[in-house]
Structure 1
Amino acid sequence: MTTKLRLVVLLRNTFLSGALAFTALTAQASPAAADENICGHQVGGDILAKYQSIGGQGGPLGCPTSDELPTPDGRGRYNTFDGGSIYWTAATGAHPVWGAIRDKWAALGWEAGKLGYPAGDELTNPDGQGKRQQFENGTMYWHPTLSNGAHAVWGRIGELWGEYGWEGGEFGYPTSDEYADADVKGVRQNFSARHISLFWSPGMGGTNGTCIGECVGYEGTTNVPWVKQTKVWKALHNGDIDVFVYPTAAGFDDADTNYDTLWNQAWDAVPYPKGLSASQGSSMYKQLACHSRYAYEWPDGSHVTGDSWDLESWRPDVSWDKALNPLSVVFHQCNWT
């Protein structure tokens, strides 16, 4: 091969190699072409895919009102739209947030708040009216008539609420955010069913029975003849349950005439605690009977048994004679061992 021919072959091979390299570079860069300009704004990647899956411009979000932007913490990306936002992180994926849930999430600090990023799309609850959306650290709930706006449920209160059936259970929808409560040295949250509130305490100390250490509980008010309020406390370290039944004036005077009716009225305001054994329930029934039987009134108007009747799950199930015999009651005062 002549020197001139070798030079032609070398130049041709060099050109082909460069062309192939350019083609490869172009292929690697092609995902950027997936970005679209919609209503004058750039939307791309997983955010674009989510946007298109819920109807694009014809869906609930409408037109984008921003390009894709990084979140301040550097973890995620987002676009804003006429009808809400879509947020994305590698861990959670892309999810839209809109309406009352988005407004509450914004009030709580967006993704930098306690809830973190959305971890799921908004869902309709089994009742067909309420909505919920899962976030990294809790869930937001909303109902058009029952929730008094959108409210987040999380932590120990959320766990207790879930044990009783979430929004379809004994407590209903949250009607408030968590708020500080000095009485329990922790936080409380209100729910829609039967004027119930749930609480969490890191520990009340002193002589607070189950709540010397970390505990959760719930309480509710009612208007039945013999009971005006019932409170249930549960110790988290061992599951012990303490129930405080607050009698009405009629309850102090008349409740010892029918223990079954009194027992049923004690649970009119709140659900019967989950996890109690038959033996524990029997013991607490007898404790209630004992308190009502000997709720004598002092000259100053107070009662021998105090303002509330305390039922403790850890006390043994004793005989009726030990529970109610006056000679026994003198010693155990309805708090037998």
Structure 2
Amino acid sequence: MNTRTTATGFLKAAALACAAALAMVTVQASPAAADETICGHQVGGDILAKYQSMGGESSPLGCPTSDELTTPNGRGRYNTFDGGSVYWTATTGAHPVWGAIRDKWGAIGWENGQLGFPTGDELTNPDGQGKRQQFEGGTVYWHPTLSNGAHPVRSKIGELWGQYGWEGGEFGYPTSDEFADPEYNGVRQTFSARHISLFWSAGRGEPHGTCIGECVGYEGTTNVPWVKETRVWKAVHNGDIDIFVYPTDKGFDDADTDYNALWDQAWSAVPYPKGITDSQGSSLYKQLACHSRYAYKKPDGSHVTGDSWDLETWRPDVSWDYALSPLTVPFHQCNWT
């Protein structure tokens, strides 16, 4: 064997190994090399790239007020700035958080709270005035006059709200955070349109119809002559809907004189439920007419139908004669099967 050839091969192999090691050091060092000192603080990596894309020191963030730091939960990194913060994780990317939305996010625990890390930048809503920002656990909404501050919308209430058009739909902007509702065994949240609140319940048990188990829904008050409140409950597991129409005193006395007007007034407080078929709608209309016609007052001043007229989507559509005949009503009591 030629020793010169062997030595040369060894030197080449050693050189290649050194080059590979140097390349690894170079790749590992590149983020540090990209760091910049701005206003006396270190900003680097994706946070620096986001900051620069926004205009750097001339952006709404202004000067950094901290070096890049690790979040307390160890998942991400962040820098604070005069005008807010930029948070980063490997899965969410880097996003600025500022103003009323940042204040709300911070008040409920920052990245360790129910919302987690931001997954997008702050956006302007289609109305041109409101703002929103998406987080891992929900979205925070703010409007200068309609929202009463910034509020997160999330989970089942957020899903229901979205089905009706988000902030531009039937319910408007959130005007509160979720708050506990012991009566409903769940949580409730208020919204700007029509004195409406949305709720989620883990289940109320017997005899609460669709809310015997997990349910969602909405409730609203109004000032029309015949109806003072309407409640809509929806079972999560099968989509069945209960509707509770609470008549005024005048409604108990006079609502059976015009079923169309009564129907319109029942929906003046809340939106008509999504997904109801024509057949279900016809049955609901007849159930309401039946309750209003036979809402006799008892000697104690209460009514035979109770405080509310209960309508249920799973009841079949029947003939008007069957729904309202004095011969059949004693048997079905406006709750036919």
SS in structure 2 at match of 1:270: coil
The aligned residue for residue 168 of structure 2 is: 168
Q: How far apart are residue 73 of structure 1 and its match?
A: 1.0
Number of paired residues?
A: 330
Query: How do 1:1-337 and structure 2 match up within 5 A?
Result: 24=23, 27-28=26-27, 29-337=29-337
- What residue ranges of structure 2 are gaps of 5+ in the alignment? 1-7
Q: Check 1:294–1:84 CA distance in 2 against 1; reply closer, same or farther (3 A cut).
A: same
The aligned residue for residue 4 of structure 1 is: none
Q: How far apart are residue 298 of structure 1 and its match?
A: 1.1
SS in structure 1 at match of 2:146: coil
SS in structure 2 at match of 1:206: coil
Q: How far apart are residue 24 of structure 1 and its match?
A: 4.2
| Aligned-partner Cα distance in 2 for 1:237–1:15 | 67
Q: Check 1:83–1:316 CA distance in 2 against 1; reply closer, same or farther (3 A cut).
A: same
SS in structure 2 at match of 1:150: strand
The residue identity in structure 2 corresponding to 1:306 is G
SS in structure 2 at match of 1:193: coil
| Aligned-partner Cα distance in 1 for 2:257–2:19 | 97
The aligned residue for residue 6 of structure 1 is: none
The residue identity in structure 2 corresponding to 1:297 is K
Q: How far apart are residue 333 of structure 1 and its match?
A: 0.9
Q: How far apart are residue 27 of structure 1 and its match?
A: 3.5
| Aligned-partner Cα distance in 1 for 2:54–2:248 | 55
| Aligned-partner Cα distance in 2 for 1:231–1:22 | 69
Q: Check 1:200–1:15 CA distance in 2 against 1; reply closer, same or farther (3 A cut).
A: closer
Q: Is the Cα–Cα contact under 8 Å of residues 70 and 77 in structure 2 kept in the other structure?
A: yes
Q: Check 1:309–1:23 CA distance in 2 against 1; reply closer, same or farther (3 A cut).
A: closer
| Aligned-partner Cα distance in 2 for 1:245–1:13 | 88
Q: Is the Cα–Cα contact under 8 Å of residues 195 and 220 in structure 2 kept in the other structure?
A: yes
| Aligned-partner Cα distance in 2 for 1:17–1:167 | 61
Q: How far apart are residue 300 of structure 1 and its match?
A: 1.3
Q: How far apart are residue 47 of structure 1 and its match?
A: 0.1
Q: How far apart are residue 185 of structure 1 and its match?
A: 0.9
More deviation, 16-25/264-273 = 16-25
More deviation, 206-215/19-28 = 19-28
Q: How far apart are residue 15 of structure 1 and its match?
A: 12
| Aligned-partner Cα distance in 2 for 1:78–1:251 | 59
| Aligned-partner Cα distance in 2 for 1:103–1:58 | 22
Q: Is the Cα–Cα contact under 8 Å of residues 133 and 139 in structure 2 kept in the other structure?
A: yes
Identity rate of aligned residues, in percent?
78
| Aligned-partner Cα distance in 2 for 1:18–1:236 | 62
Q: Is the Cα–Cα contact under 8 Å of residues 252 and 292 in structure 2 kept in the other structure?
A: yes
| Aligned-partner Cα distance in 2 for 1:76–1:314 | 49
Q: How far apart are residue 32 of structure 1 and its match?
A: 1.6
| Aligned-partner Cα distance in 2 for 1:30–1:60 | 28
Q: How far apart are residue 206 of structure 1 and its match?
A: 1.3
Q: Is the Cα–Cα contact under 8 Å of residues 31 and 44 in structure 2 kept in the other structure?
A: no
The Cα RMSD (Å) is: 2.2
Q: How far apart are residue 30 of structure 1 and its match?
A: 3.5
| Aligned-partner Cα distance in 1 for 2:297–2:95 | 62
| Aligned-partner Cα distance in 2 for 1:328–1:20 | 94
Q: How far apart are residue 187 of structure 1 and its match?
A: 0.5
Q: How far apart are residue 183 of structure 1 and its match?
A: 1.8
Q: How far apart are residue 226 of structure 1 and its match?
A: 0.4
